[in-house]
Amino acid sequence: MLTNRRTAAALGTVVLAGALLGASPAQADTGAGTPSAAPSAKAAPKGDGAEALCKRLPKVEARINAALTRLNGDVTVPGSIARLEKRVAEAKAAGHTEVHTYLNDRLTARKNMPATLQKRQTDLKGVSAWCAARGTK
């Protein structure tokens, strides 16, 4: 019975390999001799997306505010800088050098996020005024 299973498995592998190899040339040949455009290629944008940005503005502002609230939260807030600082300290105290290094690098990146998000908030205030002036908000 074991021999039959091995034979069936080997036969299945050969059939699968043959099917894959046999399908490759048919899929690769476009018949025109020139490469075709990728099916997911889209036309270049016709504008700067201002209308769409004005429409999404409240959601973008809410997401930035939520991210800043989370980052500035205390140690009980998942994703906060304080919580990650505590994890870094615990990894160092436990002697987990590699984990400490990894978490410390994440902490460095996370500490830079509030400044970036605050800059985006400032930029969005200008966009909001622009949208309001054109009545697209």
Answer for the pair 34, 117: CB distance below 8 angstroms, yes or no: no
Q: Report, in this order, helix, strand and coil percent for the chain, each rounded to 5.
A: 75, 0, 25
Predicted model pTM: 0.63
pLDDT digits (tens, 9 = 90+) for 52-96: 999 999 999 999 999 999 999 999 999 999 999 999 999 999 999
| Residue linked to tokens 């889209």 | 42
For the record, the structure tokens of 31 come out as 């018949």
Tell me the C-alpha to C-alpha distance, in Å, between residue 34 and each of 22, 40, 41.
22, 18, 17
Confidence of residue 42 (pLDDT cuts 50, 70, 90): confident
**Residue 5 confidence (pLDDT):** 61
**Residue 18 confidence (pLDDT):** 53
Residue 115 backbone phi and psi in degrees, to 5: -65, -40
| Domain assignments of the chain as residue spans, ordered by start | 50-134
How far is Cα 46 from Cα 51, in angstroms, rounded to an integer?
12
Burial string for 108-120 (b: 16+ CB within 10 Å, else e) reads eebeeeeeebeeb
**Residue 43 confidence (pLDDT):** 78
What's the DSSP call for residue 47? S
Confidence of residue 37 (pLDDT cuts 50, 70, 90): low
Confidence of residue 35 (pLDDT cuts 50, 70, 90): low
